[in-house]
Amino acid sequence: MGDLENAKVDEKLEEIVKKIEEDFWVPKELLKNLADDMELMMQNSLQIQDSTSIKMLVTYVDSLPSGHEEGCFYALDLGGTNLRAMQVKLQGDGTIDLKAESYKVPSKIKVGKLHELFDYIAEKVSHVFEIEDNSDYEILPGERRELGFTFSFPVHQTRINSGTLLNWTKDYDVQDSIGKDMVEELKKALKKRAINVNVTALLNDTVGTLAGGRFYDKNVVAAVILGTGMNAAYVEQSENIVKPYGLAPKSGQMVINTEWGNYDSSLLPLTDYDRALDNDSPNHHKQILEKMLSGRYLGEIVRRILQQLSEDAALFGDIIPPKLQQHYVLGTDIVSAMHGDKSTDLTVVDECLEKVLEITNISLDKKKLIAKICEIVATRGARLAAAATLALLKRLGRDTPREEETVVAIDGALFAKYEEFKLCLQKTLVEELLDEEVSKMVVLKQFKDASGIGAALVAASHSIYT
């Protein structure tokens, strides 16, 4: 390819990237409009069942940890990527002794049969019981161990220890499972292995994070997960829940699982890449907001853009790299690494392209362009996450000045490991969406492993033996 042809290719590349940057930019006013729209949907869904795309599920968790809980409890935490099994010894003084095992859930389990998923879970939890040492916390006659189950998918609950699956999210699509009670399925699998444990509580990972965060910080009023998927939970006044759900809690409060990753609105600035990704996904027309910003999808959006640049503007020369055409081959961890490359010659971008896509000999200008695409996609995701957080603060009445601190507990690898994403979210929220006086009192605080620890804490606070 001659110099003139190269110049034409580079010019076309720049033209397309400029258009992509324009399409992916979400201005401040739109972010505020999105937050208002989301908060209105939240309010409507508290009044009428299934009235909006934000489900606002009642969790039946009506009390959060005080820090004085005591005893030995267990937790299972099934997320989008990993399964964690834990033994949590609560010391009664706000401290814990934790033993935990973590396992990456095999892809075939995520799309297999329901009994295979729960057999896998039961096998892993059995390891925790095998290594336990309960000498300090003896099980009294007639009692059983108690376990909280963090299940990071939408369920319809009618009580604290029961919930039927509404739909799968992330990359799960387990057969014959919709409408089944997830606690009953877990009990059956545990019984097969003769594991003597009572499943005291079923909760979403955001509820677990909220409980775990509150245990350590009394100013925690909400929790957000930004990982493989995205979601939020918060403490609602029960008088605001008009839709039928059972007896009103004595505490006057109820934790709500928003399921805001399912948010869909004509206001969302969807691009052709978003629409194509949604159409190709097993849960198409669902989890639209999640597909625009969560860890499961950011890498795939970048891949689709790079593929188009390869096809339309010869980004990688005359041949389209075969690996680049594989869906989800580009993980968000790789996008994060390329986005964060601070080296002068972008050696990290080089290494990622070679390792994941088998692409070599890329010019510095093209490497800069690829890093720019990562930045464009992540920036949009972080700004949308900031708008969703503002909606949560509005729902709580914490978007106006007040004396006490408002702490939002956050967990998930996207927030914990993608530094540029986290910084952009925080900057957008503080500098663009909140008044200065309000922003001083709002803290986004990361709590590692809070969702699993929170399950044990909820099991403790709703113990059948207390």
**Digitized pLDDT (tens) for each residue of the chain, 466 residues in all:** 545 445 555 888 889 999 999 999 999 999 999 999 999 999 999 999 889 999 999 999 998 888 888 889 999 999 888 999 999 999 888 888 888 899 999 999 999 999 999 999 999 988 887 755 444 545 544 457 899 999 988 898 888 999 999 999 888 999 899 999 999 999 999 999 988 889 999 999 899 999 999 999 999 999 999 999 999 999 999 999 999 988 888 889 999 999 999 999 999 999 999 999 999 998 889 999 999 999 999 999 999 999 999 999 999 988 899 999 999 999 999 999 999 999 999 999 999 999 999 999 999 999 999 999 999 999 999 999 999 999 999 999 999 999 999 999 999 999 999 999 999 999 999 999 999 999 999 999 998 878 888 999 998 887 755 4
Residue with tokens 């006044």: 237
User: In this structure, is residue 267 part of a structural domain?
Assistant: no
CA gap 242, 49 in Å, rounded: 9
Closest by CA to 60, choosing from 161, 162, 201, 160, is 160
Would residue 398 count as lying in a domain? no
Residue written as tokens 């896509």?
Answer: 357
CA distance 226 to 223: 10
Whose tokens are 């399925």? That residue is 185
Tell whether 37 is covered by a domain.
no
The alpha carbon of 111 is separated from its chain's Cα centroid by a whole number of angstroms, namely 20
What span, in angstroms and rounded, lies between the C-alpha atoms of 32 and 62?
Answer: 31
At residue 8, the pLDDT reads 56
Q: What is the pTM of this model?
A: 0.90
Token code pair at residue 364: 């510095």
Taking alpha carbons only, the member of 83, 87, 82 closest to residue 98 is: 87
| Token digits of residue 426 | 């925080």
pLDDT at residue 141 in the model? 44
* DSSP reduced 3-state for 443: strand
Domain that includes residue 120, residue range: 63-215+449-460
Which residue blocks in 106-204 are alpha helix, DSSP H?
A: 107-110, 114-131, 182-192
Q: Would residue 349 count as lying in a domain?
A: no
Yes or no: say if 234 and 392 are a contact pair by the CB < 8 Å rule.
Answer: yes
Distance CA 121, CA 110 (A): 12
Whether residue 247 is contained in a domain is answered as: no
Residue 317 to residue 362: CA distance in whole angstroms: 10
Please report the pLDDT score of residue 140 as a whole number: 47
Whether 348 is covered by a domain: the verdict is no
CATH value at residue 132: 3.30.420.40
Residue 149 lies in a domain: yes
Report the pLDDT value the prediction gives residue 202, as an integer from 0 to 100: 94
Around Cβ 151, how many Cβ atoms within 10 Å? Answer: 23
In a domain, 169, yes or no: yes
Q: What span, in angstroms and rounded, lies between the C-alpha atoms of 47 and 338?
A: 45
Number of structural domains, the chain? 1
Of 347, 348, 338, whose CA–CA distance to 373 is shortest? 338
Residue 236 in 3-state DSSP?
A: strand
Q: Can you give the pLDDT at residue 450?
A: 84
